[in-house]
Amino acid sequence: MNEIRNVNVQNMIKSYLKDVKKALPDWLKEKKEHKEILTDLEEHIWQKASELSGNNEPTEESVKLAIEQMGKPETIAKEYKRRGEPKVYITKEMWPVYIKVLCIVFAVIFGLQILGLIISALTELVNFWDMIGGLIAGIQNGLLFSFTIVTIIFVVLSMEGYFPEDFQSKKDQKKQRELIELAAEEGLPISRTGKLMKPFIKPIGEIIGGGIAIIFGLIFLIQPFPAVIFFPEFLLLLRGFGLIWLIEGCLNISRGIIGNHHPEKHQVIHGFLILVKLSAVPLLIILMNQPEIFPIYSEMWVPVGIPVELYDTYRGIVAVVIVIVCLTTLEDFYRIFKLQKYKY
């Protein structure tokens, strides 16, 4: 009798877990994890049922009550689907993939329409304007249709709680895990949730860029060219700019050496870079107000400065340069802000 009861109890739990499994979203069913979820639920039901039956052998009644208190399989599944940050019906996580898919589909439609146009132009005697009209109508209908279909698919995927990584093959997922492990060993940026973050700098690029800035900085500082072909005041300003480039180059190289580590150090360096870049502004203002020292030559290597009638144009150009220098600091401010998310 007891055995029959045990079988009944086990069947009740099995049937409930089967219903939960059926209701779970597909992205979860494809992962080994779903087995663990079912194990946890089963363990929970057994414990609850034992407790309800007074810490004795679970009875049919106690198991039934325990299952009731677990909630409907659909409710549990709904909680698993509640995933991602909503963004206009498509989750924030799926949004970049949605845009990418739309762009690819649009590009394919556009390409096919153009191909169709070329083929019809070569094979049929169609009026030019009719062809253009057909092309525009074709593109318009194609885009509208594909936009609708792609959007519906992504809304459904978002409602089911899919994330982009759920579409990766097991091989790609393994590769990704290995990459993350490697990144962790090398101290590369990994998000709080264990995902590989986009590197915030390209070290080689920073080192090369910094090296070039140092070379130019040194040339301006040492001035290995005949001094007579420049006004002395201009040479002095050139040294100032050389010093700025030299410091900027050194700071960029140090960022390259630090690499994708220590975001807080990068933030400090960006702070210095802002100061260094802005220190060029007073020098540019001096240059703007002294058009007569700018090296314009009347004859062979004899500097005469900017002609008086071009003073306004010259000042306008230097003012634009000042604005550009100030605008380049915005990039540093943006990077300081962006690096904040790498600090946790």
Partner 1 sequence: MIKKVKGLDPEFKEYASKVESEINRGISTICILSIINGSPENGIHGYQISKDLEEQTNYMLIIEEGTLYPLLRKLEEDGLIKSYREEGGRRRKYYSLTTYGKKVFNYLSGFYSKLIEAIGPLFDVNVNLNQDRYLFCPMCANKIKLTNTELKFCDACGYNLENDLSTRGLKNE
Q: How far is the CB of 14 from partner 1 (least distance, A)?
A: 15
Instruction: Work out which of 44, 87, 92, 174 binds partner 1, going by CB under 8 A.
Output: 44
* Number of chain positions touching partner 1 (CB under 8 A): 26
Q: How far is the CB of 260 from partner 1 (least distance, A)?
A: 20
Q: How far is the CB of 340 from partner 1 (least distance, A)?
A: 12
x/- track of binding to partner 1 for residues 255-284 (CB under 8 A): ------------------------------
Least Cα distance to 97 among 84, 110, 82, 78 occurs for 84
Phi, psi for residue 267 in degrees, rounded to 5: -65, -40
In DSSP notation, 14-45 reads: HHHHHHHHHHS-HHHHTSTHHHHHHHHHHHHH
Cα–Cα distance, 151 to 157 (Å, whole number): 10
x/- track of binding to partner 1 for residues 158-197 (CB under 8 A): ---------------------------------xxxx---
Residue 66 or 90: the one with the smaller Cβ distance to partner 1 is: 66
CB 180 within 8 Å of CB 193: no
Q: How far is the CB of 78 from partner 1 (least distance, A)?
A: 8
Q: How far is the CB of 133 from partner 1 (least distance, A)?
A: 52
Return the H-helix or E-strand segment holding 91: strand 90-91
Residue 24 or 244: the one with the smaller Cβ distance to partner 1 is: 24
Cα–Cα distance, 212 to 216 (Å, whole number): 6
Measured over the CA atoms of residue 174, residue 176, residue 181 and residue 185, the dihedral's sign is positive
Residue 84 or 210: the one with the smaller Cβ distance to partner 1 is: 84
Residue 60 or 93: the one with the smaller Cβ distance to partner 1 is: 93
What interhelical angle do 95-123 and 128-159 show, nearest 10?
Answer: 160
x/- track of binding to partner 1 for residues 62-101 (CB under 8 A): -------xxxxx-xx--xx-xx------------------
Q: How far is the CB of 17 from partner 1 (least distance, A)?
A: 10
Q: State the CB neighbour count (10 A cutoff) for residue 94.
A: 22
Of the candidate spans 43-51, 55-63, 253-261, 326-334, the one that interacts with partner 1 by CB under 8 A turns out to be 43-51
Question: What is the token pair recorded at 137?
Answer: 């109508």
Cα–Cα distance, 58 to 64 (Å, whole number): 10
Q: How far is the CB of 24 from partner 1 (least distance, A)?
A: 10
Cα–Cα distance, 323 to 329 (Å, whole number): 10
Residue 6 or 39: the one with the smaller Cβ distance to partner 1 is: 39
Q: State the CB neighbour count (10 A cutoff) for residue 35.
A: 11
Interaction residues for partner 1, span 13-42 (CB under 8 A): 20, 36-37, 39-41
Burial class (CB in 10 A: 0-12, 13-18, 19+), 158: buried
Least Cα distance to 255 among 197, 205, 186 occurs for 205
Q: How far is the CB of 342 from partner 1 (least distance, A)?
A: 14
Residues lying near partner 1 in the complex (CB under 8 A) are found at: 20, 36-37, 39-41, 43-44, 47-48, 69-73, 75-76, 79-80, 82-83, 191-194, 344
